Structure 1
Amino acid sequence: MSTKDPQAAGLASLAALVADETRAACLLALLDGRAWTAGELARHAGVAASTLSEHLGKLVVGGLLAEERQGRHRYVRLADARAAQLVEDLAAQVPPAAVRRPPRTLRESSAGSAMARGRTCYDHLAGRLGIVVTEALTLRGLLRQDTGFALTEAGLEWFGAAGIPLDLSGRRPPARACLDWTERRPHLAGAAGAALCRHALDAGWCERIGSERAVRVTPSGRRALSSLLGIPPQELC
């Protein structure tokens, strides 16, 4: 007599939540770390608001999204960092050939190039920008990658000296490797990645562009990252 694994049904249900293109599009959009209205997500996914409402309800019940209401507006966001990590990890497993279709418009081509250059991945930096910063931290002995991502003592001191608040009191690991789906190399996530991204945006080192997750380094950001991490300014363009 066979005994069913009690986790099997839960895993199947979780997989089914993501196994829908409309829901997957919403989850990927919400990796920008912000709350979106149902209407914004409906336009992004290219479906009717009534159709999207049903999808959002399933994602909320399934624990991947959290919702809040302000007046007549309904906002949704990724439930937490663990939900974001799940989406990131799954997206990184998509075969490169599956996402390398030719852009259909000039606008789509420009948006894709901007996302590849630099973007937020929930609450940390990704794309070539994320890789360049991660490699600079590693080369300067601030981050170790040989036994999994870990901040060194010098790395902890660097965050303090750079004026970047680093909160290590939560359950998140100080540093975590996140496989970049465009670069196919790991960039820095975890508490340190979130702190660095938050500071870069708050200090004006980076700025968001367009309505997607794309970010670009500002002139003051190039000077700061060049001074703090020795990154050549031309690598930050």
Structure 2
Amino acid sequence: MSDSPPPLSVAIVNDYEIVIAGVAAALAPFSERVRVVELDSQLPVISDVDLILYDTFGQVQGDGIDLETLVNGGRAKVVVFSWNVDPDLVDRALARGASGYLSKELKAEGMVAGLEAVWRGETVRPAPQQPVDPTQAAASMRGVWPGHEHGLSAREAEVVALITQGLSNDEIAKMTYLSINSVKTYIRGAYRKIGISRRSQAVIWGMQHGFEPNTSRVLEAPRT
């Protein structure tokens, strides 16, 4: 009989199925330590899991995260998974009730170690560093956002997703904690890559290429 503890049960939450599927795939090699039992896109978590990993792609961040809705009356600890590692943003998320905050710069093994530390009761936050450049993402995290096959960086894809949702540049800047100039830079880069020049075209392109949030839930069958 093995003395190893059972793996931590994890639910992954985001409004984009491709995003949560990508994160789950990155964690799959570590199933003896963490077991993904639920993937939720635009639906509350219904499984009694140990941890909820909240991916911020195209979603509210910082103190805007609705932790009560995520937990849905359960006991799970919430861990935020984001490119945004600004210390003030991290502080607000933790003050709001998140138990940990992981940078998307981490490779999968670092993610697993962070989740385990949160479960042990540690408050996990990114180490002090320069802001992460999503175009230099770790190889293990490639392909976890819509539009990657068209050459869009994670940030460019996120901005296109928010445009598709109908947000203005000012609203995108507030939601992503980017400067308005940074938002405009990402928009120009994205438009160039997908061959468009106007916002209306971006909305249509986004709707045709998987940038509308989708609703889905995947549950793993209980182990016997």
Question: Fold match, TM over 0.5?
Answer: no
Question: TM-score, length-normalised on structure 1?
Answer: 0.30
Question: TM-score, length-normalised on structure 2?
Answer: 0.31
The higher-RCO structure (CA 8 Å, 6+ apart) is: 2
Q: Which has the larger radius of gyration?
A: 1
| Structure with greater helix percent | 1
